[in-house]
Amino acid sequence: ETEVIPDRKLLQHISRVDSSGSRKTDPYLEFFLGLAICNTVVVSMATAERQRASGFSRSGQTNNRLDTLSNVAKKPFSLRHIFTSWKNKPKRSRTISEDSVVEEDHFNAPLKIDGSGNTDGLQTCSLQAPSHSNDPATTPDNVTYEAESPDEAALVYAAKAYGFTLLARTPHSVTVRLPSGEDLVFEVLDTLTFDFNRKRMSVLVRHPITKECVLYTKGADYAIMELLGTSCAEHLRGKQKNIATDTQHHLDFYGKEGLRTLCFTKKVVSKKVYESWLVCRRNALAAIDNREELVMETAVQLETELNLLGATGIEDRLQESVPDTVVALREAGIRVWVLTGDKPETAVNIGYACRLLEEEDLVINMSCKNKLECTSILDCTLEEVKRYSEDPRNVDTSQDIALVIDGRTLTMALSSDLQDRFMDLAKHCRTVLCCRVTPLQKSRVVKVVREKLKVMTLAVGDGANDVNMIQAADIGVGISGQEGMQAVMASDFAISRFKHLKKLLLVHGHWCYTRLANMIIYFFYKNVAYVNLLFWYQFFCGFSSATMIDYWLMIFFNLFFTSVPPIMFGIMDQDISAEMLLGVPELYRIGQGAGEYTFTTFWVSILDAFYQSLVGFFIPYLAYQDSDIDIFTFGTPINTISLFTILLHLSIEIKAWTVVHWVTMLGSVALYFIVTLAYSAMCVTCNPPSNPYWILHSQMADPMFYLLCIITTVVALLPRYMFHVLRNSIAPSPLMQARRLDRLDASTRDEWMKEWRSIRGLGQVRRSRLSPPPSPTLDTPADIFPQSPTASDIMADDLTLNVITENYQRPVHM
């Protein structure tokens, strides 16, 4: 969505100031200029076919608000205010808005622009404000934007809604059209790109009218607030401080509403400072050693003594079915950690919105200033969490423990001496939210979790800042979208929406595990069953390594006759339908516990293979005892029996028969007889001194051959068949129960599914919101937010820390 409905009062104010013959630059105008300039958005024309498919669709409805945007010009002027009627705003809010405006001395010169676009006192040069163009291709309605992220595009579209249209961007200039229709061409002196250490970006431009060097900066609120200037006049210093305080209150409110916040600032750089800085900048760019560090130092050197223009709050709207997906993953026994660059308030709000956090959960908020404080809080919190978890009163409670930790505290918690304690605490938490983390911290967390907790990790991301995390995890999943394709290119699996993760894990993950586990066990079984036929024969040939089966037929047995059906079994078998797996996420736990590939199942299959080889050898041996048949006449029935036994054994294991299974099974049997008959008919001495000539032809004319094949195969498979029957009848597993429900019609299956989950629950305590949870007994020196309202103070290592609880859905930090 690219349509923004501007606030009528604010739009009138901007239009009145902009059209004034003698006016001073208004702070609101500077804010929207910052929105239009301080970004890396590329301008394109809507008439270009490629640009129309760039991902930003125009809505035909003028009442649609900008997707994911709520911004504030000077602290109070947010799009949340903009989209609300000005008449409904409290008087106090409007007063604060006016107090938030800062008049800057360096921009107090009158600005006069005539109808032709000429500016009084402005020399003729490339920076002169050009006259309004009537070219339809450059009209604001025909301009579209391509941005690295939807957030940047949203801010530029918001500036456009108030008349500040970004018309063109080149490496050396930025053209902005004012509400009056005049164009200003700003010379771009330098662009300080965003990085995760500074958490901000800046654009240094030369103003076309005043010729001053102006630095526009935007970034995370906590990174910007630390850089605000204090060297201004005394009367402005107090006003700036008040504006910063009021803005911080609004930023906190936006964070609790789940909005992603940014601050915008401006700084006028003197000519002397710019020239001195430019020399350092060029030296840093030309450096060979430590180039990145030097470049970042020059950026930090310039980004000081900033003047606050305003703040924005962008709604990071959840995709559809995200809460259902998160709940399903939790029911499947998957621990979900959120590693985000958002502030804690925003992350917690999103956690509640996507049902990662529940109202009754105990939320531990850890935010430390130094390592000593972090150590004390970790020790005390870990002790209390263990005591809470071991309390019998909390065994059946529906309250889970969630941990919220910021990036600075996380850095200290991941240090070598605190890693074990932090991981021990994380093990007791159902959910962990790491906020304000950098890409390197994301990958570090994944590596530490893999190393310390000895678990399988899966990382999901959609942007370039998630690449390190995706590559560090055992399995990486990239979500394709407006954030780019970097995450997809670095991942093992790619999905288009987050909701597809549910099917990827619960359905395809379960199928993949059961297929591979059963196929591996089957391959071991198949080879043991076949090779042991030769082992039993060695007792009758003095262990001379002689065989009763022709060498070529032995080679073809694994290579052709019994190779394709197991592969199809490992690719296409479905033990349970997708609907059942999605409806009962707890079935995924079977794979987590290696329920299919266990010590017992493996050795039972091996013993079964020994038994089948024993039956497959000695029944034909007893049948042909005291006869005058030759060695290959004795071995051919054994080879045929082994083929039928191995394939029928696989038939018992297949849960979902398809046409492919039937074709491969029958094709393997047909291929065996065709190849063996042809080989026996044509090869007289292909492998001297053996002579398999006409052996199978003679056998197929003997009724004894058919009788042996039937009786021996039945006797060999009878224990396996009876084992399955008894196990599924006496002690059916959850998988077997799910298969039985699968055979019912849809309505009956849904009813039985609900009843089965509520009664059995796969050993998990089923939670009910009908009965209130017991009162929390956890005391910890971190901020805690359970359901019932309590408050207390705890002393720990000379640290006075508050335990804060709210009966409000979203915790309020104090």
Q: What is the mean pLDDT of the chain?
A: 79
Tell me the pLDDT tens digit for each residue of 405-434.
Answer: 999 999 999 998 999 999 999 998 989 999
pLDDT for 687 equals: 64
Burial class (CB in 10 A: 0-12, 13-18, 19+), 340: buried
**pLDDT one-digit tens code per residue, 329-365:** 998 999 999 999 888 888 898 899 899 998 888 899 9
Task: Answer yes or no: is 271 a known binding residue.
Answer: no
Question: Is 218 assigned to a binding site?
Answer: yes
pLDDT digits (tens, 9 = 90+) for 629-659: 888 899 999 999 999 999 999 999 999 999 9
Mean per-residue pLDDT, 29-50: 77
Lowest mean pLDDT among 1-15, 178-192, 672-686: 1-15
Averaged pLDDT, 724-728: 88
Model confidence at 102: pLDDT above 60: no
Using the structure block, give the residue that is written with the tokens 């010379």.
187
pLDDT of 531 above 90? yes
Is pLDDT at 75 greater than 50 in this prediction? no
pLDDT tens, position by position, 750-765? 777 777 666 554 444 3
465 marked as part of a ligand binding site: yes
**Residue 796 pLDDT > 80:** no
In tens, the pLDDT along 199-214 reads 899 999 999 988 899 9
Give per-residue pLDDT as tens, 85-99. 333 333 333 333 333
> Average pLDDT in the 589-612 region?
90
The predicted pLDDT at position 775 comes to 38
- pLDDT band of residue 810 (cuts 50, 70, 90) is very low
Residue 260 marked in a binding site: yes
The answer on pLDDT for 60 being more than 50 is: no
Tell me which amino acid residue 66 is.
L
Between residues 293 and 102, the one the model is more confident about: 293
Higher-confidence residue of 246 and 780: namely 246
Residue 528: CB atoms within 10 Å: 18
Is 230 one of the annotated binding-site residues?
A: no
Give the pLDDT of residue 67.
39
Separation between Cα atoms, residue 596 and residue 586, nearest integer Å: 15
194 is in an annotated binding site: yes
pLDDT for res 89:
35
Does the annotation flag 169 for ligand binding? no
How far apart CA 721 and CA 714 sit, in angstroms, is 10
CA distance linking residue 354 with residue 322, whole number of Å: 6
Q: Which domains does the chain have, with CATH numbers?
A: 8-315 (no CATH), 322-501 (3.40.50.1000), 504-718 (no CATH)
- Higher-confidence residue of 624 and 93: namely 624
Judge whether 152 is annotated as a binding position: yes
Q: Is the pLDDT of residue 690 over 60?
A: yes
Give me the long-range contacts of 477-486 (CB less than 8 A, separation at least 24). 477/501, 477/504, 482/55, 482/149, 482/150, 483/149, 483/150, 484/148
Cβ neighbours for 91, distance < 8 A, ≥ 6 positions apart: none
- Using alpha carbons only, what angle is made at residue 434 by residues 432 and 436, rounded to the nearest 5 degrees? 165
Q: 342 among the known binding-site residues?
A: yes
